[in-house]
Amino acid sequence: MRRIPSLIVVAAILVGAVWSIWQWARPRPAATDPWTAVPEAAALVIELPGLPGDWERITGTSQLWHAMDDAPAVPALDSLVVRLADAVKLDGRLRSALEDTPPLVVLVRTGGGFGTLAVLPFPDKVDPAVFGAVGQALGAGPVAGERATGRPHP
């Protein structure tokens, strides 16, 4: 009678040990760090952890943001974030892909002007259609979406 429980305990320990060794030896993907993609010439970097709702709240109540309205870069930056926020609202796959690591929006000084840059860190396994949604949200049109989804394009 005492043998059966002892055998079950020994078997459970062996199974746990084998599973632990298997998990330990399995290669893990490196965490995506979006900050490595930010150019050194970045004038402003905004991290957007709560993209769909937080941006509207920040721009609606922030006196600092309203004080910068006269700067020519602010409407371009706001437009980029609003388009990204709309894409995140409409596409659940994009929202889930950006859950772990929030996107960055970068304002870069280029010569006498400025440029905006969106840094979107995606995990290793993401639905290719998500890239099409991002391309359309940023104004790339259906050709970029077709390329991103792997379908042939003219």
Per-residue model confidence as pLDDT tens digits over 99-111: 777 888 888 887 7
Q: Sign of the C-alpha dihedral, residues 64, 69, 73, 79?
A: positive
Asked if 49 and 19 touch (Cβ cutoff 8 Å), the reply is no
Count the alpha carbons within 13 Å of 55 in the hemisphere toward its beta carbon.
Answer: 22
Q: What's residue 126's pLDDT? A: 65
- Three-state SS for 129? helix
Distance CA 144, CA 125 (A): 19
Q: What is the DSSP letter of 3?
A: H
Question: Could you give the 3-state DSSP secondary structure of residue 53?
Answer: helix
pLDDT at 110: 78
Predicted confidence at residue 38, as pLDDT, reads: 85
| Regions of the chain short of the pLDDT cut 70 | 1, 28-32, 52, 122-127, 139-154
Give the separation between CA 106 and CA 39, rounded to whole angstroms: 9
| pLDDT computed for residue 13 by the predictor | 92
The pLDDT assigned to 97 comes to 74
Burial call 105-116: b when 16+ CB within 10 Å, e when fewer: bbbbeeeeebeb
CA atoms of 7 and 3, how far apart (whole Å): 6
Q: Is the separation of the CB atoms in 103 and 118 below 8 Å?
A: yes
Tell me if 108 sits within 8 A of 42, measured CB to CB: yes
**CA-based nearest residue to 52, from 82, 25, 6, 85:** 85
